[in-house]
């Protein structure tokens, strides 16, 4: 009985994990309905052929916009992370970022022009990403090193299954109104914003910052922030094993994030059925739930590091399959395969990093962790955009060569990430 009690999450751990339920709803619409709604708005704009040519393809433009959003956050992450390490600042910073994300998500529901839509999307992504950075660093405040893998994977697991509730409601609205009706997507954005706000309440009410740095009596001088920022960078650079792990994370998470954020945009570029794609991605969530839970148990037996390497190899196979994707059932197979991997690799990367860093500086270190993640998320969509510019023409199925070349480029990131992890492992003497 005592063992079962120790296995259960505490109230604080559950409250922290519940924010994964909240933010996963927005994560779902990023990878599903938001790109489709953007394509509809582009169609409503009735652009001339010359105008369409000047902004390249919708797929490429969406990749560029995603890159801009994550680049902004990549620049802000280490600064915001350093600030949030001070006493009382982490929760406040998280709340401000949450409000920005929520307000922008609501704004997406009322945007009537594709350019306004893109601007609001950038703001929503920045707010979402900033809140996630502060949330990730709270992991060190709510649990111990020994429980981090389990708590982190539980958050991702319940996030996957919980996000299905608002998503299914949004899909029902979409089916009733029709996939070509922009209001079907707009109502879905509002449902997502309400879910995101309500499910954030447990974290707001019960999670507290327990590891922090004391503030000076005259506040937090700007010079001190950048001095600490530079100091942390030097510590990471001196710890060769940690530096190689972060580099490897930067490379492999690039492919993971790009697959998540560009999935429906890629499917749409291939001419796949909209509802079929959305339902396939819903299946991803259901598959990811038990797989993320199981990843936490496997990490306890084999170690998080070994599992992360296994997931990277699986993603290489997924990317190879994605290059040749052309039919709806191909997309369904891909959805299942991604569901088996994405929760585990993200959760275990988060918890493994949390075990390596000093707890009182967790937000600052997670700021650097986030900056590498965000530059990765910036680089993947940017590579896809550049491929759409460089590789002209279409294949026998009518799909642009640049579209397939962009997916193929992700394989290189996964391979390089795997090699960096091997180097990290060797330096750590494991």
Across the chain, mean pLDDT equals: 79
> Cα Rg for the chain, rounded, in angstroms?
21
Q: Which residues contact 85 (CB under 8 A, 6 or more apart)?
A: 212, 213, 228, 360, 361, 362, 363, 364
Least confident of 18-22, 248-252, 269-273, 399-403: 399-403
Instruction: Give percent of the chain above pLDDT 90.
Output: 18
Least confident of 71-75, 185-189, 376-380: 376-380
Whole-angstrom CA distances from 120 to 66, 69, 263 are: 12, 10, 20
- The CATH fold assigned to 14-208+230-428 is Growth Hormone; Chain: A; (1.20.1250)
Question: pLDDT tens-digit profile of 244-296?
Answer: 988 898 889 888 877 776 666 666 666 667 777 777 777 887 888 888 888 88
Say what the pTM is.
0.70
Give the model's confidence band at 361: pLDDT under 50 very low, under 70 low, under 90 confident, else very high: low
User: How far is the C-alpha of 196 from the C-alpha of 429, rounded, in Å?
Assistant: 43
Dump the DSSP string for 153-184: HHHHHHHHHHHHHHHHHHHHHHHHH-TT-HHH
- Token pair for residue 372? 């590498």
Give the model's confidence band at 395: pLDDT under 50 very low, under 70 low, under 90 confident, else very high: low
What's the pLDDT at 150?
A: 83
Could you tell me which of 77, 361, 355, 71 has the C-alpha nearest to residue 231? 361
How many other C-beta atoms can be found within 10 angstroms of the C-beta atom of residue 303?
15
Q: How many CA atoms, within 13 angstroms, populate the side-chain half-sphere of residue 94?
A: 25
Could you tell me which of 199, 326, 311, 319 has the C-alpha nearest to residue 270? 326
Torsion, Cα of 352, 357, 359, 360 (10° steps): -150
Strand locations in 214-302 (E)? none
């Amino acid at each position: 009985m005592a063992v079962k009690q120790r296995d259960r999450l505490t109230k604080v751990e559950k409250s922290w994990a519940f924010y994964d339920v909240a933010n996963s709803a927005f994560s779902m619409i990023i990878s599903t309905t938001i790109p489709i709604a953007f394509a509809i708005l582009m169609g409503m704009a009735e652009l001339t052929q010359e105008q369409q040519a000047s902004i390249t393809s919708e797929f490429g433009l969406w990749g560029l916009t995603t890159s801009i959003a994550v680049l902004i956050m990549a620049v802000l992450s280490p600064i915001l992370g350093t600030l949030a390490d001070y006493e009382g600042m982490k929760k406040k910073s998280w709340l401000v970022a949450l409000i920005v994300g929520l307000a922008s998500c609501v704004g997406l529901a009322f945007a009537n022009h594709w350019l306004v839509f893109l601007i609001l999307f950038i703001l929503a992504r920045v707010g979402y990403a900033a809140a996630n950075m502060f949330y990730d660093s709270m992991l060190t405040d709510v649990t111990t090193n020994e429980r981090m893998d389990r708590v982190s994977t539980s958050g991702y697991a319940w996030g996957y299954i919980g996000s299905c509730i608002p998503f299914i409601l949004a899909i029902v609205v979409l089916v009733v109104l029709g996939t070509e009706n922009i209001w079907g997507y707009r109502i879905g954005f509002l449902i997502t914003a309400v879910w995101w706000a309500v499910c954030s309440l447990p974290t707001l009410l019960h999670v507290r910052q327990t590891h922090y740095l004391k503030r000076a009596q005259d506040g937090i001088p700007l010079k001190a922030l950048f001095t600490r920022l530079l100091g942390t960078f030097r510590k990471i650079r001196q710890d060769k094993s940690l530096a190689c792990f972060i580099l490897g994370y930067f490379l492999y998470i690039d492919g993971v994030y790009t697959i998540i954020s560009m999935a429906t945009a890629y499917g749409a570029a291939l001419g796949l059925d909209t509802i079929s794609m959305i339902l396939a991605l819903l299946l991803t969530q259901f598959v990811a739930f038990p797989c993320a839970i199981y990843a936490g148990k496997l990490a306890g037996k084999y170690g998080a590091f070994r599992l992360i390497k296994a997931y990277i190899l699986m993603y290489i196979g997924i990317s190879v399959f994605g290059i040749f994707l052309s039919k709806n059932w191909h997309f369904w197979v891909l959805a299942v395969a991604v569901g088996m991997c994405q929760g585990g690799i993200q959760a275990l990367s988060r918890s493994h990093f949390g075990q390596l860093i000093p707890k009182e500086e967790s937000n600052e270190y997670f700021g650097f962790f986030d900056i590498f993640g965000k530059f990765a998320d910036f680089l993947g969509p940017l590579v896809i955009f550049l491929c759409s510019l460089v590789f002209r023409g279409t294949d026998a199925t009518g799909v642009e060569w640049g579209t397939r070349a962009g997916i193929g480029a992700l394989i290189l990131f996964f391979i390089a990430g795997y090699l960096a992890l091997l180097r990290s492992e060797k330096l750590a003497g494991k």
